[in-house]
Amino acid sequence: MRNLKFGVCLLALFAGAAPAGAETTILKNVTVIDGTGAPALPDAAIVMTDGKIAWVGPVSGLKAPKDAKVEDLSGKFVMPGIIDSHVHVGMMHDVTQDEKYETPQNVQADLKQYAAYGVTTVQVLGTDKDFVLEMRNQQRKSRPTVARIFSAGQGAVIKGGYGGLVGVTEPIATPEEGRKLVDEQAAKGVDFIKLWMDDERKTIPVKMPYSVSAAIIDEAHKKHLRTVAHIFYLDDAKELVREGIDGFAHMVRDQPVDAEFLDMMKAKGVWMVSPTLSREMAYSLAVMPWLNDPFFTRGVTPGTVAALRSMAREQAVVLGLTRFPGLPYEKKVFWDMDRTLFQTLENYQAMVKAGVKTGMGTDSGPNGRFPGFNAHEEMQLQVLAGRTPMDAIKSATHDNAEWLKDPMIGSIEKNKWADLLVLDKNPLDDIRNTETIAAVYMAGQPVPTIWTSCRDRAESQCPKRPADLPNMPY
Ligand SMILES: [Zn+2]
């Protein structure tokens, strides 16, 4: 009897047959950009069975199961779903940021929006309520139709200092409290530990002391968790590398990175997880150039567009002092931000040239940075900084999956989840062509895209897709 069962198993194995009831969809006649940096494969097909990639290769080698659904996508391009390694979810209503908006409904809407823009996985850095971890757990047991979550739970903010989300993150004051926070987060099952070390250009008198960051990193490593730090200053970044930090959530922005720092990062394998070029870009633009671009306006609420276009915003944000919820001070948002943007781009170039491991992350979610939209901006800025479109795609897919240590996502390879972005135009010709979204697949299932759905309103109420994408909003 036992042998018989064994025999049946073997038979199934050798036949290579999909299990009974398997659901198979084939994307045919596409050019595959697999995310690994390998040359694009024209005239290709992807076989997706039960949400996973069962086969990828030239159409000439395709063996289609009889009952497979075949999509002829002649002329289109397929790349892996984008991974954004630095976001915050559910904290906004229009242009107002508050923890009370972090509801399951709003988080779900953000995750749906990420997927609509082709961002099929996000790493949330330190502002999650506990229910987000529960959502993540549910996703991992199923085939999600919205962006996959990696979560750093509630990050470490020093009392009176910069970072976190008031009402969600509980500030700490001592190394002991730092260790306690890590233990609590570890018990909740977070994927990473986040900490903030910044004083907003010396406008805040308190910054996380090195004794506290060292304790957090040490405790996290004891719990087998990696640590990611928000930084601004080169000196802090160097100290954190000495303390064993695993990755940075932003670029060094106060001065040029030096050889000592680059060597330290490489020697210890420290990642620039999310260079957040688009964040610095957003802060350098007093007037946003994309307010009439449907690729942007379809992805934000009507209230957001109205607020961003209003004269009141110009007066309050562009020239005046602004008080942000939770910050104990007012600041001129755009003051001196051009210099920060250029420093960020230069340091990004230096890290890439030196061979430091770099990912793609935007810090979208908070006010002024937009879920999904910013990921496309970020890749465009990588190219502006001198990378090839192929590199930008690789960093946003394969490399980010490497950082997350998730072998199931990030490239179009056999046995991985079929999280895919289908494009009308070739992103290798022009990285802005990632905006020509024809379809998005999450675990093998098509989901609404930014061109078939819009945020918080019926599709019929939204500006139409321009005929000549990508358009230049500037
Ligand atoms: Zn952030």
Residues in a beta bridge with 123: 150
Nearest CA to 179 out of 151, 216, 139, 214 is that of 216
Q: Tell me, yes or no, whether 463 lies in a domain.
A: no
Q: Which pLDDT score, from 0 to 100, does residue 160 have?
A: 93
User: Which residue intervals of 276-334 are DSSP H helices?
Assistant: 277-284, 294-297, 302-309, 311-313
Residues 160-175 have pLDDT tens digits of 999 999 999 999 999 9
Token code pair at residue 342: 């250029």
Q: From ligand 1's centre to the CA of 389, what distance in Å? A: 25
Q: What is the CA angle 368-206-322, rounded to 5?
A: 30
Looking up tokens 């340091």 gives 347
Q: What is the pLDDT of residue 16?
A: 42
Q: Is residue 385 part of a domain?
A: yes
Per the model's pLDDT, the better-predicted residue between 301 and 330 turns out to be 301
Q: Is residue 51 part of a domain?
A: no
Q: 382 to each of 356, 376, 430, how far by Cα in Å?
A: 15, 10, 12
Helix (H) or strand (E) holding 122: strand 119-124
SS3 203: coil
> Structural domain of residue 274, as residue ranges?
81-407
What's the gap in Å between 361 CA and the centre of ligand 1? 9
Surface-to-core class of residue 354, CB atoms within 10 Å of its CB (0-12 exposed, 13-18 middle, 19+ buried): middle
CA separation for the pair 122, 25 (Å, rounded): 25
In a domain, 39, yes or no: no
**CATH code for the domain of 368:** 3.20.20.140
CA of 363 to the centre of ligand 1 (A): 5
Please calculate the CA angle 426-432-436 and round it to the nearest 5 degrees: 60
Rounded Cα distance between 150 and 403, Å, is 11
Average pLDDT, the chain: 92
Mean pLDDT across 25-47? 98
Reported in sequence order, the residue ranges of 307-449 that DSSP labels E, i.e. its strands, are 321-323, 330-332, 420-423, 437-442, 445-447
Q: How far is the CA of 368 from the centre of ligand 1 (A)?
A: 12
Lowest mean pLDDT: which of 7-16, 100-109, 157-166?
Answer: 7-16
Whether residue 435 lies inside any domain: the answer is no
Record the pTM.
0.93
- CA separation for the pair 97, 367 (Å, rounded): 6
- Domain total in the chain: 1
- C-alpha 279 – ligand 1 centre gap (Å): 9
Residue 13 has pLDDT above 60, yes or no: no
Choice among 5-14, 143-152, 288-297, 417-426 with the minimum mean pLDDT: 5-14
**Count of Cβ atoms closer than 10 Å to residue 21 Cβ:** 7
Cα(41)–Cα(33) distance, rounded to whole angstroms?
7
Interatomic CA distance for residues 129 and 188, integer angstroms: 11
Q: Is 150 within the bounds of a domain?
A: yes
Taking the centre of ligand 1 as the mean of its atom positions, its distance from the CA of residue 310, in whole angstroms, is: 26
Grouping H, G, I as helix, E, B as strand and the rest as coil, residue 150 is strand
- For the ranges 6-20, 264-278, 409-423, 455-469, the lowest mean pLDDT is seen at 6-20
Closest listed residue to residue 34, CA positions, set 72, 73, 80, 1: 80
Number of other CB atoms surrounding residue 352 within 10 Å: 19
- Residue 14: what pLDDT? 38
Structure tokens at 66: 């009889």
How many Å separate Cα 212 from the centre of its chain? 28
Alpha carbon 255 to its chain centroid, in Å, reads 26
Cα(86) to ligand 1 centroid in Å equals 6
Q: What percent of the chain has pLDDT over 90?
A: 79
Q: Which of helix, strand or coil describes residue 70?
A: strand
Q: What does the pLDDT look like over 201-229, one tens digit per residue?
A: 888 889 999 999 999 999 999 999 999 99
Q: In what order do the strands lie in the sheet with 192-196?
A: 192-196, 226-230, 247-248, 271-272
Whether residue 167 lies inside any domain: the answer is yes
Q: Which of 340, 324, 270, 274 is nearest to 162 (CA)?
A: 324
Q: What is the pLDDT of residues 337-381, one digit of tens each?
A: 778 899 999 999 999 999 999 999 999 999 889 999 999 999 999
Alpha helices in 244-368 (DSSP H): 259-268, 277-284, 294-297, 302-309, 311-313, 337-354
Q: How far, in Å, is the centroid of ligand 1 from the Cα of 384?
A: 22
User: What's the pLDDT at 334?
Assistant: 67
Q: How far is the CA of 369 from the centre of ligand 1 (A)?
A: 10
CA–centroid distance, residue 13 to ligand 1 (Å)? 46
Whether 355 is covered by a domain: the verdict is: yes
Q: How far is the CA of 325 from the centre of ligand 1 (A)?
A: 15
- Answer whether residue 11 shows pLDDT above 50: no
Cβ atoms of 222 and 350 closer than 8 Å: no
Average pLDDT over residues 378-388: 96
Describe the crossing of helices 337-354 and 259-268 by its angle, rounded to 10 degrees.
50
